[in-house]
Every structure is written in C-alpha cells, then in structure tokens.
A = this chain, B = another copy of it.
Amino acid sequence: MPQIPTITDINEATERIKPYVHRTPVLQSSWFNDQTGAELFFKCENFQKVGAFKFRGACNAIKKLPKHDGKKGIVTHSSGNHAQAVALAAKLNGYKATIVMPKNAPKVKVEAVKGYEAEIVFCESTIDAREETAQNIIRETGATFIHPYNHPDVIAGQGTSAKELLEEIPELDAIFTPVGGGGLMSGTLLSAKAINSKIKVFGVEPELADDALRSMKSGKVEPVLRTDTIADGLRTSLGELTFEIIQSHIDNIVTVSEASIIRDMRNVWERMKIIIEPSSAVPVAAIMDNKVQVEGLKVGIILTGGNVDLDTFKW
C-alpha cells in the first residue's frame, strides 16, 4: 500500500502547484445563512482550472514525476473531471495523455478532454472495465498511471483546497465535502485535522452511492452498487488508501436524496449565481436537510466542480 501523505506533503504540493492552479475564492450567501442558521463559506473549486478541484491532485502528481517517466506518457481513467485535470497537467508538462472514459460520461467533459489534446479510449462504465483498459495501455506503452484518487500525490494535491480555505477562514468549526473515490475527502481530512485538531470534518454521499458509509460500517472497502446518481462525480468506490485515511480521521458520513441534490444545485445557481455540478450540491443538501446540526457554527463547504452539460437549457 502507498504511504499516507503528511501535512508536509500537502505543504510541498501547495508550493509545487501554485504557479498552475487558481487560488479559488471563498463566497458567502446571506440566503443560505438565513436558511441554515449557520455561517457558510463556499470554497469555489468550480472556478478552478478545468472547472474542478481535480486539477490540484493531477497537477501535483504529474509535476512530481521524473521526466524520463513522463516522456513515456500518462494514463488514467475517469468519469470526467480527473480526465480533464490529467489532460491539462500532462499538456502543461509536454507529456502525452491517454484517458480511459466510460461511454456514459457527460458530453461536456469528453469535449473538454479533447480540447486539452489528450487521446480518449472509451470503455464500459464499470470500475473493472476502466482498470483493465488502462492496464492494457500501460503494458503497451510503459505510460505512468495516475489513479484518480488512490494515489498519495493526488490526495496531497486535493488537500491544498482545504488548506487555502482554512488560511482564509481559520475559525471554521466544520468542513463538508462530498465522497466519491475519497481523494478530496482524504486530502481534506489530512489537511484540516493537521491544521486544527478540533475541526469536525464530514463526508456526504448520494443515497444511491452510499459505498463509503457502508464501508465504514463493514470495516472494508464496499463497492458502489449503482451508477445512476445524478452526482456523476461520485459514482466510484473508495480505494484502499482513501478508505484507511477516512476510517482513521472522519467525524461522520451522511447521505442525501437525489431530490435534495437537485434542489440545492438549483438553489446555488439561483441564489449565488454560480454554476455547480450535481456532486457539488451533495454537501449543501446535507446541511439544508439538517443531516448534521450546524446551527450557530461556521462551516466550510468545498464546491467541487462546475462542469454541467448546458444543452438542456433553452438558450
């Protein structure tokens, strides 16, 4: 098993990726504060390069690679945002990227990967199909695999978002993030708990993809059973590494319904005038549905991305 990153790794990642990433803004909303009785601070990774926090982890992992490895190419599999992140980070380093994507990935994400000049190989949407396809490419080309979440450098990179948030709002009582593969969740836990051991950190999943909650109960990594949640970034299971970190540090994991995700995605669009993708609305929904008591607290929420297919809007 790869080693668990430390706060030193996260600090080094911060310096390593600083020239490439946006320091994303932290927004507030009086409407959401009124609704919840809490003071909410939204860390806007939807404004990050490629439209999602994923660029932080991919950029850190690819920047750290020895040049002779990078020259053989980069491979990954992803339902979308990690794909764009690897494609752009590889391009910035002059490496070739090959991205394995599930056939049902949103069109907007496929187009974006193409825009970063990566090669795309489509496969079935199961985790097995993705991994097998990626392994075949590695065998043929000697390319380096950048796992979307079960990778210490990726986790350290994702941890830089919570670090920035806590630099800006050090008095936070709690931080909420969604849980998909657990990369952001792990990075956030390592970062936040090292900076302030008293801070509470909560993970939120769609009810339809509650694998992390089930994994916490059973004590081992449980698979996602369905891939039909609207929160397309959260359709993956935990990895061994992210599971270990989450199990050791997390305060609680809660779940939210599809209806609540859609409701609060729309609330964020209407009230805050920013575009978030469904996965970003998952922690917002947990707070709005009172799944964790936050009244009177200062709460950080990481809005993970803003890549939505806008074709259905009547332009």
- Please give the residue numbers on chain A whose beta carbons come within 8 Å of chain B beta carbons, in ascending order: 25, 27, 46-47, 51, 108, 262, 265-266, 269-270, 272-276, 306, 310, 312-315
Contacts and interface: CB of A to CB of B under 8 A. Distances in A.
B262 A315 contact: yes
Nearest to A28: B22
Contacts of A25: 25
A269 B310 contact: yes
By secondary structure, the A interface counts as helix
A226 B47 CA distance: 37
A311 to B, nearest CB: 9
Contact of A314 (B269, B272, B273, B312): B312
B273 A51 contact: yes
Contact of A274 (B108, B275, B310, B312): B275
Given A27-B47, A273-B274, A310-B313, 5 more contacts: A47-B273, A51-B273, A269-B275, A273-B276, A274-B274
A296 to B, nearest CB: 24
A266 B313 CA distance: 10
